[in-house]
C-alpha cells in the first residue's frame, strides 16, 4: 500500500505562496501519472486541500477516481472550524492514520 501523507497545504519551507503553488503542481502531476496511491491522509493545514475553496480538488478527485481513499483529520477539521466544508473523501481519525502508516509499504510526504 502507498500512503500519501499531506500534513501541510504547502510544499517545502519558505514563501507560503510558492509552497502552495509547488504542492498544487505536485498533486496535478501525480494525478496525471500512472503512480498508484492507495490512501491519502490530510492533517494539520493539509485539511485545506480537501475543503471548500481548495485549488486541488480536481487533482484529488482524479486520484480518488483511480482508487485512492481520502481521509481528512476530524480533530483538525474541528480545530479550523471546517468540518462542514469537507468536499472530498471522509473524516478520519488518528488511530486510522497510525494503522495506515504502520501497514504502508511506502509513505510519500511531499512537504
Going from N- to C-terminal start, the domains of the chain cover 2-108
Q: Provide the mean pLDDT of the chain.
A: 96
Which pLDDT score, from 0 to 100, does residue 30 have? 97
The three-state secondary structure class of 81 is coil
What would the grid cell of residue 5 be?
501523507
Grid cell 502552495 in the structure block, residue: 20
- Decide which of 3.40.50.150, 2.40.50.140, 3.40.1260.10, 3.30.565.10 is the CATH code for 2-108: 3.40.1260.10
The pTM of this model reads 0.94
pLDDT confidence band for 89 (50 / 70 / 90): very high
Beta bridge partners of 86: 51
Q: Which stretches of the chain are assigned E, i.e. beta strand? A: 2-6, 39-42, 69-73, 90-92, 106-108
Per-residue pLDDT tens over the stretch 49-81: 999 999 999 999 999 999 999 999 999 999 999
pLDDT confidence band for 85 (50 / 70 / 90): very high
Distances (CA, A) of 22 to 7, 19, 29, 82, 90: 14, 5, 11, 24, 25
Distances (CA, A) of 18 to 72, 82, 110: 23, 24, 14
Amino acid at each position: 500500500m502507498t500512503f500519501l501523507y499531506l500534513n501541510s497545504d504547502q510544499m517545502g519551507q519558505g514563501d507560503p505562496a510558492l509552497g502552495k503553488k509547488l504542492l498544487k503542481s505536485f498533486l496535478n502531476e501525480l494525478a496525471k501519472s500512472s503512480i498508484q496511491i492507495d490512501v491519502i491522509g490530510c492533517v494539520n493545514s493539509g485539511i485545506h486541500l480537501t475543503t471548500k475553496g481548495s485549488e486541488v480538488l480536481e487533482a484529488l478527485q482524479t486520484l480518488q477516481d483511480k482508487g485512492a481513499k481520502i481521509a481528512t483529520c476530524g480533530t483538525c477539521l474541528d480545530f479550523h472550524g471546517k468540518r462542514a466544508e469537507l468536499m472530498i473523501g471522509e473524516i478520519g481519525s488518528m488511530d486510522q492514520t497510525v494503522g495506515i502508516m504502520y501497514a504502508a509499504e511506502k509513505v510519500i510526504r511531499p512537504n
